[in-house]
Amino acid sequence: MSTLTLSPNIPGADDFYAELLAAHEGLTNAESDALNARLVLVLANHIGDRAVLSEALQAAMLKEEETA
């Protein structure tokens, strides 16, 4: 079973981050919210693995993993 990658995994991280910001440039808050929502859905579909998606949701909620 695959698990969520939480170690650095994007080559050219600065480039990617700039591209993400650029995509939002000039958008209203509502347009940016819509773009983010579409992006989440596109990425989620690409991942496709239900367990990984659940882990990603947990990670995004900044929930620490249970260690007990």
Partner 1 sequence: MNQMSDKKIFEVPLYAYERSPDQDAEAPVRHKAVVIGAGPIGLGAAIDLAQQGVEVVVLDDNDKVSFGSRAVCYAKRSLEILDRLGCGREMVEKGVKWNLGKVFFDERKVYEFNLLPETGHDFPAFINLQQYYLEQYLVDRVREMQDAGARIEIRGLNKVLRVADKGDHVDLLVDTPDGEYPVQAEWLIACDGAMSPTRSMMGLDFVGRVFEDNFLIADVVMEADFPTERWFWFDPPFNRGQSALLHKQPDGVWRIDLQLGWDIDKDEEKKPENVIPRLKAMLGEDVKFELEWVSIYTFQCRRMEKFRHNRVIFAGDAAHQVSPFGARGANSGLQDTDNLAWKLKLVMEGTAPESLLDSYDAERIHGADENILNSSRSTDFITPKSEMSRILRDAVLDLSEHYEFARPLVNSGRLSMPCTYDGSPLNTPDALPGGPSRSRPGSPCADAPLGEVYLLPRLGGRFTLLTIGAEAPESLSVDGLEVDRLAVEATPDIRARYLGEAESAVYLIRPDQHVAARWPSYDAGAVEAALNRAIGKE
Question: How large is the C-alpha radius of gyration of the chain?
Answer: 14
- What distance in Å separates the CA atoms of residue 2 and residue 49, rounded to the nearest whole number? 8
With CB under 8 A, what is the number of residues at the site for partner 1?
8
Read out DSSP for 30-42?
HHHHHHHHHHHHH
- Nearest residue (CB) to partner 1, 46 versus 67: 46
Q: Examine residue 33 and tell whether it contacts partner 1 (CB under 8 A).
A: yes
Select 13 or 41, whichever has its Cβ closest to partner 1.
41
Contact 38, 23 (CB under 8 A): no
Instruction: Tell me whether residue 62 or residue 68 sits nearer to partner 1 (CB atom).
Output: 62
Which residues contact partner 1 by CB under 8 A? Answer: 33-34, 37-38, 40-42, 45
